Amino acid sequence: MREPVVRLQRGRDRSTRRRHPWVFSGAVASVEGEPAPGATVVVAAHDGTVLGRAAYSPSSQIRLRLWTFDEATPVDDALLHARLDAALALRKRLVLTADTDCARLVFAEADGLPGLVADLYGDTLVVQCHSAGAERIQDVAIAHLRARTGAARVVLRSDAEVRKLEGLEPRSGVVFGPPIEGGLVRAREHGMQFLVDVERGHKTGFYLDQRDSRARVRAVARGRVLNCFSYTGGFAVAALSGGAEHALSVDTSLAALELAEKNVADNGIDPARHDGLRGDCFDVLRGLYDEGERFDLVVLDPPKFAPAARHVAKAARGYKDLALRALKLLHPGGLLFSFSCSGAIDRALFRQIAASAALEAQRPLTVLGELGHPPDHPVPTSFAEGEYLKGYWALAQ
């Protein structure tokens, strides 16, 4: 049976030839055959030259997500197994150790598996399928990952908003293994213990992408720490484990703050050294300043402010406002850890925002280092969109 062929518009094949894995709907000239959502199609240039094979997503603006960039390589179970094995080998080499049993095992396009995410928390595997193509390979991927990791449980978390753009319904729940007693699983990161809500928590339950930054905070934390947008207290636990005297976690979710308290206690830390405060971080920062509170280290890890380019201007104002208020709360010589997970905000702009906030606050700010993805969230040079997380840590004078 002849493979469906998607032919691109004249002159719209440049990014594909440069191995960018996405082809948008406007670049498509014609579709030969009737491929189903997620089906593998041949991608051809206007002149008929075969550029590779891709998963077809008729409902999405990202019409094609490429599996391969040559004519000869078939998209079959052998290819999927090989890519899964390569991804696992990288994590075992660079992340998974005796004191760290949680990692992102598969990072979608970065591992040549567009739309597929798989995270490991101890003996629990959490899988997300963000695209029609990933949905189509879900069963093969889960079976192979189970066999290779020995996971006792697999949880499906295909409930992200992006699935609506692919014409997919949300799907979630335990698909293999026993139910989760108490709703929480345990994970270990650099010797620290964390309880993770893999069924209902943010993303797959924990911010694995902040592993290296938590380690940095743990290494330098002293005195009083303010952890804004704290979620379940990852940065607070790191700071208190490293030598901070006290940490204040701020979040709008009472459930997240309660889990943060459990995580503090689970690491043998005196509960008196940690407090949780429910509230909007913008308002809380202002209130703390008015009350005369000051800190030695502030972490700003807000949710995505700019999901698309049209939101950049508003997002930039939000990031600046946060940085400005945080700088006013820092003692001279205090440290600011500031992050953006908005893909539309690049590093250069984020640095400009920091400079503007420092100028307005009249607090000279010296960047000590850039922060971002750990190695289980790799970023191909051909896929800049994969670098969504960026940050810095800086000295406030």
The DSSP secondary structure of 188-219, one letter per residue, reads EETTEEEEE-TTTSSTTSS-GGGHHHHHHHHH
How confident is the model at residue 1, as a pLDDT? Answer: 60
How confident is the model at residue 99, as a pLDDT? Answer: 97
CA distance 13 to 46: 8
What are 278's strand-pairing partners?
251
Query: Is the alpha carbon torsion for 94, 100, 105, 108 positive or negative?
Result: negative
Residue 377 exposed, middle or buried by CB count within 10 Å (0-12, 13-18, 19+): buried
State the span(s) of the chain assigned CATH 3.40.50.150. Answer: 207-396
Query: Hey, what are 204's tokens?
Result: 């797959």
- Is the Cβ–Cβ distance between 396 and 334 less than 8 Å? yes
Q: What is the DSSP letter of 382?
A: T
Please tell me the class of the 207-396 domain.
alpha beta
How confident is the model at residue 310, as a pLDDT? Answer: 86
Q: What is the DSSP letter of 235?
A: H
Is 341 designated active site? Answer: yes
List 102, 129, 281, 341, catalytic entry:
341
How confident is the model at residue 377, as a pLDDT? Answer: 98
- Is the Cβ–Cβ distance between 91 and 110 less than 8 Å? no
Cβ neighbors of 389 (< 8 A, separation 6 or more) are 209, 210, 339, 340, 341, 372, 373, 377
CA distance 8 to 30: 7
Q: CATH assignment of 5-68? A: 2.30.130.10
CA distance 262 to 184: 11
Is 77-185 a CATH 3.30.750.80 domain? yes
State the span(s) of the chain assigned CATH 2.30.130.10. Answer: 5-68
> For residue 269, how many C-alpha atoms fall within 13 Å in the half-sphere facing its CB?
29
For the chain, which residues score pLDDT lower than 70?
1
- Is the Cβ–Cβ distance between 1 and 30 less than 8 Å? no
